[in-house]
Amino acid sequence: MILQDYFQEIFTRQKDNAPVIATTNATERIAKLKKLQKFLLDHVEEACEATYMDFRKPHAETIIGELLVLISEISYTIKNLPKWMRPERQAVPLTMLGTSAYIQYEAKGNVLIMSPWNYPIALAIKPLVSAIAAGCVVMVKPSEMTPHSSAFLRKVLSTVFPPDEVALVEGDAEVAGRLLKLPFNHIFFTGSPAVGKIVMKAAAENLASVTLELGGKSPAIVDASADLEATARRIVWAKFFNNGQTCIAPDYILADHSIVDKLIRELKVALSEMYADVKSSPSYGRIVNHKHFDRLCACLDDALEKGAELVIGGQRDENERFLAPTILMQVNENMKVMQEEIFGPILPIVTFKKLPEAVAFVNNKEKPLALYIHSVESEHIDYVLKNTTSGNALVNEVLTQFGNTEIPFGGVNNSGIGKSNGFYGFKEFSNDKGVMKRRFGTLKFLYPPYSTKLVTLLKKGLRWI
């Protein structure tokens, strides 16, 4: 069977089944989520081994960054789904006298989820949880860069769901391109802004809605009031977790010039305490493949050739795809590390003298997926929050927005479109249909033929609204 015919067959089977799945009730959807949750809990070791085989991700990081997030998301959805599915009663304006209104959430239908390699389990299944909650049928296309994790996903999905409801499709960029030609109702893509534009363009051909979780250069602003010991530990953990291959990792630090020396000392202490002999540390992963390893090394070399100061790190081993946690000073806008998302264990530091300088520096770039503020000065915190735009903003905290089921997660413009997490994920895969019902009265007096008296009344009515 030709590849496109195979995809078309799966798509058609799911499309035929979509109206049935869309009418399932909360109890039926919760049963599926419970089955998915049980499978994940019963196969924790298998999940950890899969990600370790792909890029030596520490088991603790798989549990924290992949499974804990998923179990939390599923539990929260199970608890709240009956409430989310109930019609939301809405007030009606005076002009709609005699009617009632409510919002009814209905499934968008056929969904494509395209997930990346950096969190290969979580970023495939987390949006799937929301799609199941909304009553959609789903095709999941994981990254080809993490084959062991994809094999684990295949086992999960084929065990828990029938293929006419949820199906895994594996392959490279050519497969992704073929899938994007199918008339999905919604596409959920996680990846780079460059590929996000391709996805959005393809979706436009079928007028499909999209959720794009992208990335960008997420700054960590550290002012002179910050608790530098705690801040350094937070930033080191967030930046080098998963070897820096996290879309919401701090991409660079903006530090007040008066505290930068002390901050660097605390960063070095934190690195030593967390990783010690980093190359042999079981807590430090590896770059996913040689292509990305070479890209990161080229970025580092470019910075050093253009005058960047190597504060710590820089050691590398091509055979192991090992790149040590690296901190740079004296960076500038002509360096690749300050022009593109790093997505690896390289951390540049830029200094500022006044907070408006830091804000201007952030605003001169594309809107980031995350922005981190480290300060105890309320006035400084409020100033940054008011004068910057980002998908999420965290104060004296890092990374945890992805696992907070109570707030929306996602980007803005270049860093993404649409939101996920909890109710916001459910809503993303739903059409929030407005429904109106007339309870009494009639609008006959508005029907033609229009009299001069009616026009006079309408003109006066404009001032009553």
Token duo for residue 294: 């070479």
Q: Whose structure tokens read 């002390």?
A: 262
Set 61, 66, 213, 266: catalytic member = 213
Do residues 150 and 170 lie in contact, with contact meaning Cβ atoms separated by under 8 Å?
yes
Q: CA nearest 434: which of 129, 162, 96? A: 96
Please say if 213 is a catalytic residue.
yes
The CA–CA distances, whole Å, from 97 to 92, 291, 433 equal 7, 64, 20
> At 89, phi and psi to the nearest 5?
-70, 140
* Burial of 253 per CB tally in 10 Å (0-12, 13-18, 19+): buried
Amino acid letter for position 130: S
Please say if 247 is a catalytic residue.
yes
Q: Are strands 416-417 and 209-213 parallel, antiparallel or unpaired?
A: antiparallel
Token duo for residue 296: 């990161």
Q: Are strands 219-222 and 252-256 parallel, antiparallel or unpaired?
A: parallel
C-alpha 302/C-alpha 298 separation (Å) is 6
What does 57-83 look like in DSSP terms, one character per residue? Answer: --HHHHIIIIIIHHHHHHHHHHHHHHH
The CA–CA distances, whole Å, from 265 to 309, 380, 393 equal 15, 24, 26
- Give the start-end residues of each E strand in 23-153: 88-90, 99-107, 110-114, 137-141
Angle at alpha carbon of residue 356, lines to 353 and 409, rounded to 5°: 120
Set 66, 247, 341, 428: catalytic member = 247
C-alpha 316/C-alpha 99 separation (Å) is 69
C-alpha 235/C-alpha 217 separation (Å) is 15
- Give the start-end residues of each E strand in 262-325: 309-312, 316-317, 322-323
Q: CA nearest 106: which of 438, 437, 426? A: 426
Token duo for residue 425: 């994920």
Q: Which residues are catalytic?
A: 213, 247
